[in-house]
Structure 1
Amino acid sequence: MATLVVLALVFVFVALRLWSVLGSRTGHEQTFAKPVERPAAPRAVPVVAGESTPSIGAESAPAPAAANGLRAIASADPSFDPQRFVEGAKSAYGMILEAYWRGDRETLGKLVDGEVADAFNHAITEREAAGETLDNRLIAIEQAQIEDARIDGGVASIRIRFDADIAAVTRDGEGNVVAGSTSDAVPTHDVWTFSRPVKSPDPNWMLTETDEAA
């Protein structure tokens, strides 16, 4: 069981900022309580077989502040591998953003938990009520770095920063562009936290927090 969330293998179903990306801040729609529209953003992280993936950039070594937490997670779960986790997290980043953009609540329900899930659902509902759709595309994940890691009450949490390029467009009910451009990619910087009970038989990690990187 890969600690990294190969959700692709587990669930088989197959991120500017939540508004643009997610639509409010989970992507950049406006801010995360309501996804933002600009480009906006792995319990172990899903990876879907056969799914096309964006260009992947360099991986950074975990930040020094994360060292103790990563050791604690590896001690509690010998199968945990930081590098594999980052690979899975990058796949999850793209899958979650794409699901949010197309309003796929079912897929989001398998990858996102808690208040983050509520924020996504709220943003999708508002977008649907306005008769708008998102025509966004994750061009590249330039870098992904683990910034922090910890175990609290038997739950492992890993915070990872994503630097990505996203092309985003918002269309009205008639298909007219009301915001954004498909020809320009906007640099996006997000910090997502994935969590997972270390003793759970389920190897998947869930997205439990999102924020814009400083």
Structure 2
Amino acid sequence: MKLHREGYTIMAVTAIILVLINLGIQYLLPEGYWIPRIVLVASVFVFLLVVQFFRVPARTVHKSDRQIVAPCDGKVVVIEEVVETEYFKGPRRQVSIFMSPINVHVNWNPISGVIQYFKYHPGLYLVAWHPKSSTENERTTVVIKNKQGIEVLFRQIAGAAARRIRWYVKEGDQVEQSTEMGFIKFGSRVDLFLPLDAEIKVNLQDKTVGSVTVLAELK
């Protein structure tokens, strides 16, 4: 397992602040007080908590042109037919995955293909499970077209705490399934919009492993 580059600054700043707090407490309190020990233990816990936000586990993936893999770790919270209004402007099958603060926060490409469309939307920071978070929160919209001409749309959606979306793709890029496309700091949600005839392979409340779990198979 390695640590993601998006966390280097946050981890360094956190470490410096915690060290200064501990040095300050030890300087102000006489030797023998128990408070510095408690603060030290709490500081180590806080630092480890921040570090785990940015872990990048090693994973074995099996690529397939017919399969759509989960773009993130999390829990399936939506499976339904909806009308997608930004790009397709028509009915699609939506699968949404909620990312909690304890999940890995890397986002992966669900299929291989060419980035047909990309747009960043500034917006609100409603809680990720709010019905309007998909259309009103800060988010990105990415559409990948595979070599069979099938298009899959997915959105990175910020939440109440996750206000830092990062992406590493742009229109025209050729991307490979299960490779890294972005990062959402401190969790949130990812929505996918699939063809209506895609065969869904997950159920509500299922736990997903990003870049590994098969969400659906294309006809």
Q: Same fold (TM over 0.5)?
A: no
Greater share of residues in helix: 1
Greater C-alpha Rg: 2
How does the TM-score come out when normalised to structure 2? 0.26
TM-score (ref. length: structure 1): 0.27
